[in-house]
Amino acid sequence: MTSEVVENEFEFYSKAEKYWKDVPATVDGMLGGYGHISSIDINSSRKFLQRFLRDGPNRTGTTRALDCGAGIGRITKRLLLPLFKTVDMVDVTEDFLTKAKSYLGEEGRRVHNYFCCGLQDFSPEPNTYDVIWIQWVIGHLTDNHLSDFLKRCRAGLRPNGIVVIKDNMAQEGVIMDDVDSSVCRDLDVVRKIIRRAGLHLLAEERQENFPDEIYHVYTFAMR
């Protein structure tokens, strides 16, 4: 539980904001020096996502996606824009969103909104998104804020839409990282928060071919 490791909520959020303000607005900066894993990450995410976009009665649409904790738009550029007509981005760091406008190039014209906001304060517009993609950012929310945010995401989905979380998973319990002011939860804790938000887990997958020294990374799809 984050309540056991986060002593001061205000400090938890403000310290994280300060940390990201000092991070270079590059792919390597977004990935904490692991820029070389970006293609492996994107290719796995694409395969995972495409199983929901295939033809069928419950097929997820491809009209609009939301990239949460979007940074400079690494995922928007390489995963979401090739699959969706329009994308919105939300990130707490204004400099990253400014950089995104040049990083995304011509295709960036299909990014309709750049929301500068922490996810604890962000509400997706109801009944708007086919896919809400949340990657490497849930550790910056307390359990209560994450659960509440996921409830708002559920309301933001169009029919057959999905919410996707892709993130680091601890082996056991909840681990605090004082450097970037984030937490890493184990699988059971994350699943409990998903259930608490009233979401139903559709798929869960462990990322393969990542460096041994980093946390295991899992992807969840839910609605």
Q: Is 93 annotated as a binding residue?
A: yes
Is 92 known to sit in a ligand binding site?
yes
35 is in an annotated binding site: no
Residues 6+ apart with CB under 8 A from 40: 207, 209, 210
- Residue 181 is encoded by which pair of tokens? 């002011």
Alpha helices in 22-127 (DSSP H): 27-30, 38-53, 74-75, 94-103
69 labeled part of a ligand binding site: yes
Q: DSSP letter for 140, please.
A: G
**182-185/174-177 β-pairing:** antiparallel
CA distance readout (Å), 63 to 36, 82, 201: 30, 11, 22
Q: Around Cβ 112, how many Cβ atoms within 10 Å?
A: 11
The verdict on whether residue 27 carries a ligand-binding annotation is no
Q: Determine if residue 50 is labeled as part of a ligand binding site.
A: no
Whether residue 177 is annotated as binding a ligand: the answer is no
The reply to whether 60 sits in an annotated binding site is no
Q: Which residues are annotated as a binding site?
A: 69, 74, 91-93, 119-120, 135
Binding-site annotation: residue ranges for S-adenosyl-L-methionine: 69, 74, 91-93, 119-120, 135
